[in-house]
Amino acid sequence: MAFRKVAIAGATGNLGPSIVNELVNQGFEVTVLSSSGNTSALPSAVKVIKVDYSSQDSVVSALRGQEAFISTIPKHDQQPALIDAAIAAGVQRFIPSEFGSNTIGNEKVRALPVFAGKVKTQEYLRSKQDQISYTFLITGLFLDWGLNLGWLANLKGKTDINDNGDSVHSFTLLTDIGRAVAGVLKHPEETKNRGVYVQTAALSQNQVLKIAGKVKPEFKAETEQVDLAEVEKNAYAELKKDGGNIGLAMVSFIKISIFKEGYGNLWDEKNDNELLGVKGLSSSELEDLVAKSF
């Protein structure tokens, strides 16, 4: 039977609001756990509980009566404590803060230092699956975020073309991630103790630049070719260096997982879109999205 009573931690960040809005629109009973209490942008239908994540009692008491718990917090080493609290409160399903690269199906991605916390959380959940079930949701780069940040294509400046720019990867809109989470909650058995893959579109960087030229003929793409093997080598060198730029290295590892061939970043042929109610975009919807990104 579908889960109806769901809690979410980290709902006030980049991803959380899209999930909350979709769950509320689909009639789920949503409770938001928040450390800051900065929840004014969330729909009034949600119940907000201010929590102190350093206190297990605080989190357990906020989770009592909930059937599922979604984490979108950015601090992955804090998730095992959330899982313990969920178990203590009797929650049945935990959806950890994944929502990105293929950390479940590709060993090269799993080995990238930036994903160590996500991988440890997965291992922790697997070790507790007799007490709580889980679903890992793999989405690739957020499509709208990737356009706004200029990672997929920078329509306001120079685009870094990763390797040849022709390889195709899976990307998901924030709204579709909300739909996919709702889909998991509506299909507990089919999504139990496994990873699910969703995508809004499979695209290459060169395809996006081509669409940009179609919707705005005066647009002239400014590009610079980037060799991802070199980026990877430099990122590991930064990690080894005294006073190295760890932040830059981590961003490099994320880009490698999204764009480098061999990193399992395309699930166009086999994914869970249909089960989870994610439809993808028609060509004209894709053109509208790109047109809005100038």
Q: Tell me how far, at minimum, the Cβ of 83 lies from ligand NAP, in Å.
A: 14
Nearest residue (CB) to ligand NAP, 142 versus 263: 142
Q: Which amino acid is at 273?
A: N
Nearest residue (CB) to ligand NAP, 97 versus 199: 97
> How far is residue 194's CA from residue 178's CA, in Å, rounded to a whole number?
18
Q: Tell me how far, at minimum, the Cβ of 291 lies from ligand NAP, in Å.
A: 21
State the Cα angle at 198 between 176 and 131, rounded to 5°.
Answer: 100
Residue 76 tokens read as 């992955």
Nearest residue (CB) to ligand NAP, 75 versus 241: 75
CA-based torsion, 50, 54, 58, 64: positive or negative: positive
78, 53 contact by CB (below 8 A): yes
Q: Tell me how far, at minimum, the Cβ of 218 lies from ligand NAP, in Å.
A: 29
- Residue number of the CB atom closest to ligand NAP: 13
Phi and psi angles of residue 202, each rounded to the nearest 5 degrees, phi first: -110, 120
Nearest residue (CB) to ligand NAP, 10 versus 183: 10
Ranges of beta strands (E only) in the chain are 5-9, 29-34, 47-50, 68-71, 93-95, 133-138, 141-142, 158-162, 169-172, 194-197, 201-203, 222-226
The CA-based diameter of the chain, rounded to the nearest angstrom, is 59
96, 121 contact by CB (below 8 A): yes
Q: Tell me how far, at minimum, the Cβ of 283 lies from ligand NAP, in Å.
A: 23
Q: Tell me how far, at minimum, the Cβ of 114 lies from ligand NAP, in Å.
A: 9
Q: Tell me how far, at minimum, the Cβ of 99 lies from ligand NAP, in Å.
A: 4
Nearest residue (CB) to ligand NAP, 108 versus 219: 108
Q: Which amino acid is at 242?
A: D
214, 151 contact by CB (below 8 A): no
Q: Tell me how far, at minimum, the Cβ of 12 lies from ligand NAP, in Å.
A: 4
CB-based contacts of 119, cutoff 8 Å, min separation 6: 103, 110
Q: What is the DSSP string of 35-94?
A: SS---TTS-TTSEEEE--TT-HHHHHHHHTT-SEEEE--S-GGGHHHHHHHHHHHT--EE
Nearest residue (CB) to ligand NAP, 123 versus 222: 123
Nearest residue (CB) to ligand NAP, 177 versus 185: 177
Q: Tell me how far, at minimum, the Cβ of 9 lies from ligand NAP, in Å.
A: 6
Binding site for ligand NAP (CB under 6 A): 10, 12-16, 34-36, 38, 53, 72-75, 78, 97, 99-100, 139, 141-142, 145
Nearest residue (CB) to ligand NAP, 78 versus 234: 78
